[in-house]
Amino acid sequence: MSYELVTEDGSQGQFASNNGYADLIAAANGKFTSILFDQGRIDGKAEVEQCIEELRAIRQPADVVTTAKALIGMMEGHTEILITDGVTGNNIVGKLAKAAYKLKIRPDSESPAKAQARRQLFEVISSNFDEVESQVRDDVVSAYIEKKSLDVLLDAIDLSQMDDMVRQIPAILGELGRQEAMRAWRELTDNVQVTVDETRIVDLLNTDAIEYAEDRAAEMVGKKWVNGQLIDNPDAKWAITEGTRDMLRDHITQAYQDGLTPAQLKVVLENNYEFSEARAKMIARTETAMASMNGALNSWKRSGVVEATESLLSDDHDHDDECDDNADAGPIPLGEEYPSGDESAPYHPNCNCTNVAVLISETEGEE
């Protein structure tokens, strides 16, 4: 079996697979910098693994890794490369290249934009936590000293100061969503022909990012915007206020039942998880992941060349949950929900899974 390397300058020759593709990689390395795929398609984790196994049947695993790394290196830049199977049309190398390509362009969990937004969001949340914690502690302990009933103590939980974040968070999530949307757009236009006016797309993606950020900031504190007014939203997803109130109620109820002194209750409220640095970091990490993925989704929807998404497990995924079901589901039509009921990752707080785009062209011509 042999493989042929074709560039815009024409065929660069055929290379025998029994050389471990060394000649192929040597010919391409440093000169050709982008991959166009001839045939075959990576359809989820199973087919990626099948592709790798096919290569391993020819060469040792170490050579497979070397080949994959070299192919990734060849993708940088603008020059076109077409790898085809010169004999059978199976295009095993092309399949591996596409697998590497997908892994390469998926939204970067540690992109500079996301890292900066995560730090900024953490600062806003932790600062707000300090203010709200102080107020709640003073109000609850005062009511406790006055020997108020448990219902009165629980009513003393006032989280209205959290609404201040609705004015602070949109700028952070909006800028992150804009940058991630444009990054996803560049990834598409660098590798696929998109026949949409880019100037108009930029404006639309900016608007998409701003609208998402404003809506999500309200949802984070259990609110929503209706006719310019911020009102309660009983269906808010992962609202900080709901979780905070539930944890506070549990602590206060337990303290009341255990007969703690006011001083002891104060210590409990000062050393709880609900206003901790760890929780602020978790929220910041989850919210930036959501904004980042939403930006990518907006680009894919606006492009006209993406028809589905696939879910990829994170490297630190170590137990079965809804993430596994979503990854096993394969391509999901763009805009539709995965088995978990989500359109994209993250699927739960602290989730590091991500999604990749499935192009329309990837399904055309399949038998």
Task: Give me the residue spans of the domains in the chain.
Answer: 2-105, 112-304, 305-367
> Comparing C-alpha atoms, which of 106, 93, 103, 44 is closest to residue 363?
44
Q: Which residues contact 127 (CB under 8 A, 6 or more apart)?
A: none
Say what the pLDDT of residue 189 is: 83
325-348 pLDDT, tens digit per residue, is 999 998 999 999 999 999 999 999
> In the structure, how many helices (H) and strands (E) does the chain have?
12, 9
Confidence category of residue 315, pLDDT binned at 50, 70, 90: confident
Q: What is the pTM of this model?
A: 0.71
233-260 pLDDT, tens digit per residue, is 999 999 999 999 999 999 999 999 999 9
Q: What percent of the chain has pLDDT over 70?
A: 68
161-211 pLDDT, tens digit per residue, is 999 999 999 999 999 999 999 999 988 887 777 878 888 999 999 999 999
Cα separation of 102 and 357, whole Å?
A: 8
Quick count: other Cβ atoms within 10 Å of Cβ 229? 8
Backbone angles phi, psi at 106, to 5 degrees: -65, 150
